[in-house]
């Protein structure tokens, strides 16, 4: 083959540099503009999705916090007035009640015999609705004024917990099983038997062996000579605190931390807390964040059949022995502000004519949750002919 012909054919198949077309500036600018539009759309989509996720996440937290608050209060209300197997709350031996070694949550109650506020077994439920930060410490010394939200009720619930000690030894004594209980020496317990009078005794754990050794009449007995089950006793005092993690120093006790405006990153989170007996002292424990308001309605058993006949938001002093049910409503707030949220002027109904209208800090999500709880022990005693809770 002719070499010149071959080179000529190759030259015809290879385009010249002059025939190649470059991208113009206009085309480049159009491409960039289209890319920017697409990027903007993706950014808006991502931002919208992210915002929607945050809102849904905060709503989920609202539901969790509302459920938790109702669970804490509901479980305690169901156990209020439970003192073991005793049949009468009036049949309690008050002669040797243990002392409260630390700050009690109320004044000692007149006798005879006198008894500590925390050990007033005759009043399983009490609620104060009209206290303010200025006077709450006068009525409840365990509550620092800086840790009390205006408008919060103070709910006092007394009764034994479901924690039972039942394993008696071969002789029928519960002493060894009690001493195996964690921190038994400083814990207050109740023991009851429906066949003895009084039905119920209250004691500190380290006294039980001494009481039993002095004679079986000093403890409660079932089935002839076996010790009755022993239950841990507890007093709980619920209220709303204006912050979740207090950092201030209390005025009466330097060990107590109190709320201030800079807490929780400068956005104080209202929190459901309770005072409870720990080592015979009332101590404040945080429970659920975001609880902004509480409201209670009370079911009264007027005819003594253990069924509520009517509900009231303001029981008269003589109504408390008739209360056998409580309707709880909680207003829950998100723990952080939500971008774009504004419920200014929106009214939330907590029942019984109690409402909340947002005037400040309205960039939070809010929701009302409610539940009706039976005071089982009070209802049982009234249905059996008892005249008090």
pLDDT digits (tens, 9 = 90+) for 206-233: 999 999 999 888 999 998 789 999 999 9
267 by Cβ neighbours in 10 Å (0-12 / 13-18 / 19+) ranks as middle
pTM: 0.84
Q: What is the mean pLDDT of residues 162-167?
A: 91
Q: Phi-psi region for residue 340, left (φ > 0), alpha (ψ -120 to 50) or beta?
A: left
What distance in Å separates the CA atoms of residue 85 and residue 66, rounded to the nearest whole number?
A: 33
Q: Supply angle C-alpha 289, 293, 299, rounded to 5.
A: 120
C-alpha torsion angle, residues 208, 212, 216, 221 (rounded to 10):
40
Q: pLDDT tens for residues 281-309?
A: 899 999 999 999 999 999 999 988 889 99
Which pLDDT belongs to residue 39? Answer: 83
On whether the CB atoms of residues 358 and 334 are closer than 8 A, the answer is no
Count of CB atoms situated within 10 Å of the CB of 351:
16
For residue 307, give every residue at least 6 positions away whose Cβ sits within 8 Å of its Cβ, in sequence order, or none. Answer: 301, 324, 379, 383
């Amino acid at each position: 083959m002719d070499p010149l012909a071959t080179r000529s054919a190759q030259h015809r198949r290879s385009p010249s540099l002059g025939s190649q077309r470059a991208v113009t500036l206009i085309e480049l600018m159009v491409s960039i503009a289209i890319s920017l539009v697409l990027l903007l759309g993706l950014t808006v989509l991502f931002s919208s999705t992210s915002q929607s996720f945050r809102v849904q996440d905060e709503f989920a937290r609202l539901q969790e916090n509302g459920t938790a608050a109702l669970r804490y209060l509901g479980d305690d209300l169901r156990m209020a007035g439970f003192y073991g197997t005793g049949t009468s709350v009036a049949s309690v031996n008050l002669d040797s009640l243990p002392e409260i070694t630390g700050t009690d949550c109320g004044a000692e109650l007149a006798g005879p015999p006198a008894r500590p506020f925390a050990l007033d077994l005759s009043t399983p439920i009490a609620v104060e609705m009209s206290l303010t930060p200025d006077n709450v410490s006068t009525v409840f010394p365990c509550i620092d004024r800086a840790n009390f939200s205006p408008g919060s009720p103070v709910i006092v619930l007394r009764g034994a917990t479901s924690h039972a000690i039942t394993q008696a030894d071969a002789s029928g004594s519960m002493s060894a099983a009690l001493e195996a209980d964690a921190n038994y020496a400083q814990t207050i317990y109740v023991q009851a038997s429906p066949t003895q009078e009084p039905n119920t005794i209250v004691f500190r754990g380290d006294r039980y062996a001494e009481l039993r050794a002095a004679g079986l009449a000093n403890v409660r007995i079932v089935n002839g000579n076996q010790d009755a089950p022993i239950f841990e006793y507890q007093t709980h005092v619920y209220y709303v605190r204006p912050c979740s993690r207090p950092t201030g120093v209390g005025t009466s006790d330097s060990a107590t931390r109190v709320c201030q405006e800079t807490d929780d990153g400068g956005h104080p989170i209202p929190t459901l807390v309770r005072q409870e007996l720990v080592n015979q002292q009332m101590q404040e424990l945080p429970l659920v964040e975001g609880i902004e308001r509480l409201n209670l309605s009370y079911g009264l058993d007027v005819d003594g059949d253990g069924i509520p006949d009517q509900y009231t938001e303001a029981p008269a002093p003589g109504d408390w022995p008739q209360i056998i049910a409580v309707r709880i409503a909680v207003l829950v707030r998100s723990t952080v502000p939500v971008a774009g949220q504004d419920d200014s002027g929106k009214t939330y109904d907590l029942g019984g004519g109690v409402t909340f209208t947002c005037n400040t800090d309205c960039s939070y999500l809010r929701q009302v949750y409610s539940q009706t709880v039976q005071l089982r022990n009070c209802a049982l005693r009234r249905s059996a002919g008892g005249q008090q809770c």
